[in-house]
Structure 1
C-alpha cells in the first residue's frame, strides 16, 4: 500500500472500499463479523464519515480507494503516559532497572534539568511521535511537586492549545499524598488544576495515614469538581492493597466523579479470594483500570541476577469479567521507568496481546487502545468509527490479526479529517541539545 497514492486525487468525497475494521471500533452499526473483524466500505465527505456500509455497497458515484481488505482503525487513545519524563534516558539512565532506581534517577534529573524549555522540547517531541503513529487522544501524568507543578502545567497548557487541531490532550497532577499536608502548596496545586482543566492524581501508599489521605483527596476532588486518576500498587508486594482502600473510599463518599486506577500490579500477587473481593469492590465503585504492560514487565520482579517470575501486570481479565472498564497504555518512554517505547499504540496493543493473553479470542481486544480507553477518558466521540464523526483513521496493509500482530505496521497511513497526515517521526538527534545529552 503506497502511503501517498492510496486515496483518490479529490479527497473531499471518496470511499474506502474493501476494508477490514475491528468490529468493536464500529459505533452505531451492526455488520457481520468474523474473528472480531468486519468487512466494510466507508463513505467520506468533507473530512467526515458519512456512512459505514457493508462491503460492496459504496455508491458508484464515489471515487474509490480499494484497500484490498486492509485494516482501518480509528485514531488511537493513549490513556496513561508521562510526557514530562520522556526522553531523559540518554542523560540520566536507570542504573539497575529497578523501580527504586527509577524514582531516584528521575528525582535527580527533575531537580537538575526540568526547566520550561527542557520540558517543552521533550513533550513536543513526544507529541510528534504520537501524532505520526496515529494517536488522537493522550492523557499524561505530570510530576507536580513544587515548583515543578507550575512550570510543567504551564508548558502543558501551551502545548494543548498549539496542538488542539491535531491531538486532544489531558493532564493529571502526580504527587505523593503526604504533600497534601503542605497547605499552601496543595491549595496552589488545586488552583493550577482548575485553571488548566486538569485531574487530581497522586500515589497512595500503605501506612497509618492512608485512610486520612484518601479522605482528604476525595473530599477535595468532590469540592472542586475534579476527576481522579491514581497510580496504584505498582509493586509485587501482596500486602499492598491501596486499590481496595481507594474503592472503599469511593463507595463511602458516593463519589460522583470519574476514578481511574493505573497499574494495580500487586493484585496479581494476592490469593484468589482476597483479589476477588477487591475486584468486586472496584466494580461496585465504578473505578476504571489501566494496565501498563510494557513498563510493568520492565520494572516488576526485577532483582539482580534473577530471572523474573511473573509478568508484572494486574488481573486484567478478571477485572474485565467483573464489569470494570479496562484499557492499556504506553506509560513511560525512554526514561528511567522504561528504557524503550515510542508512544505507538500499535506496539502497546501488540505487546498487551502477548503479555496479558488478550488473544483466543481476539474478538474485542482492539477496544483496549480505542473505545474502552476513550470511555475512561470521557471522550466517547474519539476512538471509534462512526457516522457523523471526523474521518480520523489509520490504514494498514495487514488484513487479519496474524498479519497485524506480526509486524510493527510501519507502513501505516494516517488520515485526519479525511486527509493524509504527512508527518514523519522526529529524529532523536533533535534532542541532542538537551543538557547532558
Structure 2
C-alpha cells in the first residue's frame, strides 16, 4: 500500500495506527489500530450538524474521531458546537498534513486540501438558498443552489466528496442541473433534524414546562437567519410591538438568532442590540441551547427564509413571514413553496389580529406537504447515514439498530421551578 508523506516527514498508511499520528506517539496509545475519522467544523451551525451524525459512531472501539476547525468567515463560534474534545482537537494545518480513513464535513471551504474520503453533509433544511451573487471565492460564477453547484463540489476539475449526503430525492434533480458530474457520489440519506423534531413532538408538554411556560401561556418564536435578507434588522421594530400589543401574562416571546449573527457581530453586541426587549421579558435563546426544542414548543413562528422556519412546518404552529428575499431562494424549493402558503406579517395591522388570522387560515395539509419535501427518508437518517459511513470506512456495522438521541430538555427561559405546568 502506498504511504503518504506527512508534514513531520513520517509516512502514514491509511487504516494503520499511525495514519493520523506519528509512529513515536502511536506506541503510547491504548487502542492502536483504530480507523481515523476527522470531523471538520467550519461554523457553529456545521458543528451542530456533525454532532448528530457523529453520535452514530459512538461506542465503537474500532474508530477514533478527531476534530479540526476549518477556515471560514464565521468560525468564531465553531468550538462552541464541539463536545469537550481535549487531545482529539487538531490545528487545521496539522490536519491538512495527515491522512484519514474518513473526513466528515458540512461545508466545502478548504476540504479539498484534506486527505481521505470525504462525506459532505448538508448544514440546513435541504438546499433552498441560492449562492451569493458576488462571491469573492469564485468571482464571476453564475448563481447556483447553495451547496449543490460546482463551486462547492469541484476543485481542479475533480469532484471532491467521495459521498454527498442529501436529505430528499428531489435534490438529485437539482444536483443534475447544477453539477451533473457529482451525481455518482450522491446518496439520499434523510435529515437528522427532521427525524429528531418529529420524534420530540409527543414530548411537547414536557419541553414547554422545562422552558418555564405556565398553563395557558402561548409561545411566540421569532427566528432570524443571517445576512442582509434576514429578519434580524426588523427586530428593533417587531419586538417592541410584541411587548406592547400582546398580553405578557398570556404570551411569551423567544428570539432565535442564527449562530452566524452571533459569530459575525459577537455575543455582547447581539445582546446589546436586543437589550431593550430583553429587559422587558423577551427571551433571547442562547446559541448553545438546542434550538429544535423551541420549534417543538412554539404556538406561532415568525420567521424568514432560514431553515428554522422551514422545520417549523413539522409542528402545528402557524407561520408568519417577517420577510422573504425571493431573489435569494430557489423558486422550486420547499422554502419558496412555504412563502406562497404562509401569511406575511404586516407592519400596519394589530398583532393579535394577525396571529388570529394565521391560526384561522392554517391548513395542516399544506404544511405537511411542505414538510414532506424536507426529507424523503423520514425516520431513517440514522440507519442510512451509519450504513454510508461504515461503507466508506470499510467496516461492518455494529450489531444493533442505530438510533438518534432524543432532543434534550431545554434550560429554563422564564420563571422559576414550581411556577406551574405548561399546557
Shorter-chain TM-score above 0.5:
no
**Bigger proportion of residues as strand:** 1
| Relative contact order, higher structure (CA 8 A, sep 6+) | 1
Query: Could you state the TM-score of these two structures normalised by the residue count of structure 2?
Result: 0.26
